[in-house]
Homo-oligomer: A and B are copies of this chain.
Amino acid sequence: MTNGNHTLNEILTQANAWEDALQAFYAMSARIQSAWQALQPQQVVFTGCGSTHYLSQTAAELFQSLTSVPSRAYPASEIALYPQSVLTDPAHTLLIAVSRSGATTETIQAIKRFEQAGGAAVWSITCYPNSPIAQSSALILLAEAGQEESVAQTRSFASMLVLAQALAALLGAEDVLQLKQLPNLGRQLIAETESQMKTLGSDAGLERFFFLGSGLQYGIANEAMLKMKEMSLSHSEAFHFMEFRHGPMSMVNQKALVVGLLSQQTHRYEQKVLSEMKTLGGRILSLTTEEPADGSAYHITLPKNLPAWAMPALYLPPLQLLAYYRAVSKGLNPDNPRNLTAVVYLDETEFEA
């Protein structure tokens, strides 16, 4: 049994995998553009399970904001169980399936339902080119260097997210080459934040974690919540930033860490929420491109020179490290979370009824 060596290594080396994924993406960007032109879908549905559902949330939000094509995320199980409710116009819908392994049963079933309904096309984002999901896709965005040994997705998640960001930017006519800055910025951020995240992750005075993000950062907040939960078995939840006031903040006390994933365009609204949570006794970790506000005990400065669509992946490494060090300090092995396996395989015949 390892003791989290895989996970730590995967977190620390992820920027190389982003670079690799981007290189593969740039090489096929003309093909992507012509496939998109040929399709001209009226809806885009992103799907995945667990982490890749959360990735899909950010991807769909970004895709819709850059392309203006209505885009949304559904957990694969919801498509598999309720295809007729979910797919309102399959003949003009592009399904983008996100799966690290490319082998998740529910995602395969979602694709089947989509095809049975006459869906226009399936594209995929995955780490495995020969997987069933990749093989059933008209277009495969590949993050091969994102493959990992651990159960919890870190490097794979961020690499696939970078691909989703690149896809939205390309089809939304943004300068997708700006993403070339990401790997170095990611490396720098890891170097700058690791020791702070180790300290905070080892703080036994914390017992509950709330991750808040709006817009593009909502899916990232969910993923940070899931990492904390899977690796460290800690009470962790995620909410749309401003939604936190509408009930969930009743749980804030001195043992709560409220993690704000602030967005460039909306940080002044979000900063107010964090200040209020500090007044309620919560401890605050903020990730923002702005000056540290006085309410934040802990602060991570994100690079300011990037467009909003390039930002989401950068929030991940520090929050992955936070979960990792929390797990280690609790004596848990982050490589093999309790109750979990790397891929959820279900009996496919169950779905065939």
Contact = CB atoms under 8 A, between A and B. Distances in A.
Interface stretch (A142-150, A180-188, A225-233, A296-304): A225-233
A243 B49 contact: yes
Contacts of A43: 70
Contacts of A280: 339
Given A85-B61, A214-B82, A77 B243 contact: yes
A75 interface: yes
A88 B75 contact: no
Interface centre among A235, A245, A266 (most CB of B within 10 A): A245
Given A64-B88, A350-B269, A77 B226 contact: no
A269 to B, nearest CB: 7
Interface stretch (A9-17, A121-129, A247-255, A287-295): A247-255
A243 B226 CA distance: 11
Interface in A38-93: 43, 49-51, 53, 61, 64-65, 68-70, 72, 75, 77-78, 81-82, 84-85, 88-89
Nearest to A77: B242
Interface residues of A, number: 58
Contacts of A266: 81-82
Nearest to A241: B77
Contacts of A229: 247-248, 250-251
Ranked 7 nearest A-B pairs via Cβ: A50-B246, A77-B242, A65-B85, A49-B246, A50-B247, A81-B266, A75-B240
12 contacts: A51-B247, A72-B72, A77-B243, A81-B265, A82-B214, A82-B215, A82-B265, A229-B247, A235-B251, A245-B344, A246-B344, A247-B337
Interface of A: 43, 49-51, 53, 61, 64-65, 68-70, 72, 75, 77-78, 81-82, 84-85, 88-89, 106, 152, 208, 214-215, 218, 226, 229-230, 233, 235, 237, 240-243, 245-252, 265-266, 268-269, 272, 280, 337-340, 344, 350-351
